Chains A and B, each alone.
Chain A
Amino acid sequence: MAIRWGSYKVKGFYDELIRVTGKPRPAAAALCSYLRSLTDREIEEYRSAAEMAIQLMGVTFTVYTEDEGSIDRAWPFDIIPRIIPKSEWTQVETGLKQRVLALNRFIDDLYHDQEIVRDGIFPAALLKNSVNFRKQCIGIDPPGRIWAHICGSDLVRDKDGTMYVLEDNLRVPSGVSYMLENRLVMKRVFTELFENQHILPVDDYPSQLYDMLAAMSPRNIEQPEIVVLTPGIYNSAYFEHSYLAQQMGAELVEGRDLGVDKDDCVYMRTVDGLSRVDVIYRRVDDMFLDPEAFNPDSALGVAGLMRAWRAGNVALANAPGSGVADDKVVYSYVPEIIRYYLDEEPQIANVPTYKCINQEDREYVLEHIAEMVIKPANESGGYGMLIGPQATQKEREHFRKLIKKDPRNYIGQPLLTLSTAPTLFGNRVEPRHLDLRPFILTSPDSIQVTMGGLTRVALRKGSTVVNSSQGGGSKDTWVVDDEGV
């Protein structure tokens, strides 16, 4: 008897596996009783087996240090999975598809007639202020009018159990390789569990990604040339770039491997000469993509790439300029965006958001700043944020001034209490906060959502920071069939 569920306390949080102390949720019952049956020694064995598997498979993320150049670190992995019943996941999936469909329509509209602005739904001032709006993309028609082919949306659950979208990553979302590897590790370590219940598979992501990319090819040929464009080995997500290229059988290229010829086509330099490239899955940010069109000092990009893309001679995923729809202020308009383009009610909730550009909202935020989280529009990774309840009086005053000075740049949200899941420390389980990043692939004729996604967990007690660089780890995510049985 190693894991004692009786001492696992879930009061004040929504726990993903345990409903009330000692009582697992139905979808997690089999897992919890299995874990209870394990001895200390077995748990230790499983944990070191998982660690070994991670090392063997070379699952790493890269940390750059001055002295040694870049070093690869294994990302901490917790062997207790996070479980979502399929009936719930089906609803989330529908909501995400609806959301991404509307966001693509929104991006396409912004780069064309801007009807949503003309109809007074989305303020022109916000667009003018957006740092991710690329005027170089105005009037371009990417195939199927899809801009954000790959989207990673971050979901969190509040203490009452409601699932919210916290943000959408429409530029170069990462993490999917960890989702795939985590599952491989779990299948090696907990074979019995996979035999006895229906855990929905995630392994088909690379082939779905390949099919989606291949379908974008401007040339109608049997084997279009698909490449993954990486900033190089010093990028923190290099492992993922190389992993996805290998899984898809695509060439992993850097900017200097590619060139645009006089015919406005993209070629890669191979030892057999120049070879035409049809589709680029780019993992390089917009601003570094093409020194001719964007940052002229970029050495990571390909001069003339925008020219080739505009001419329709190469497909880019995600399309440049997609990021216009993932800043924090646009986020606050997503419910309106869904209603405007699809004439539907949002199926998955946004975190209630107060837009300081509206006078009413602004007054509410200024008054309740001590209970809220204040976020600037265009920063990511938690920069420039105020967490009201933890801030000093002085900090709050500072943010009041910032908001009054530039209201359109700020939003306010109530502070959510993230849900938890049991996480293994030695032979004890303790609750830790987590989020979830599913990945959504959009083709002209279908939208596909991963079964679950990447669960990131804050390993420090009480922390809600799940980033890999700041003490975060990950868990496998099981969508368990609770209907078919």
Chain B
Amino acid sequence: MTNTPRVSSEWVERGRRGDRGAIEAIVREVYPLVRNVCRGMLNNEADAEDATQNALINVVRNIERFDGRSSFTTWVYRIATNAAIDEGRRRGRRRSRIVHDESEVVDEVGTTAQNRVDDADQLGSLLRQLPDEFRVAVVLRDVMDLDYDEIARILGVPGGTVRSRIARGRTRLAELVGNQTDDNERHTPHA
């Protein structure tokens, strides 16, 4: 696993007691993780920044209640994914319009440029079109590089469900890419 923040248990304990220095250190340390989750989920810098700040505010507000039943990092991931999903829903109406507009642009270039499917930004844009439950699983696996067990702990679902959501999310994403590249020789049934 990569991108794991180095948050010591001492920091967490001090943070739970309200130690401002420890809380500040935690906020700074987990920021990249939270931001990357939100960017992966939202693929829009402004929305991702809003979601990131909301997630960090939730970390600060609720750290006193962190009970240690999961690892602190798992807890932060959970908060980050929830904040990103909430932000996405809040901006849903605007997002629908943006996705629609961007799809039109992608249509224009995608049909003639197979190599564009590898472009991370384009993939991120397509990823945003997946349902929340598939998107979050794919982001945690393919963007954050977490293993199945960790994703299961974050989402609070069995490992088999995680495997299934990742596979189906990737399949949907491949379909979307295929739709952009005239390489859509088959269709996998939607969930």
A and B from one complex: no
Residues of A that sit less than 8 Å from B by CB: none
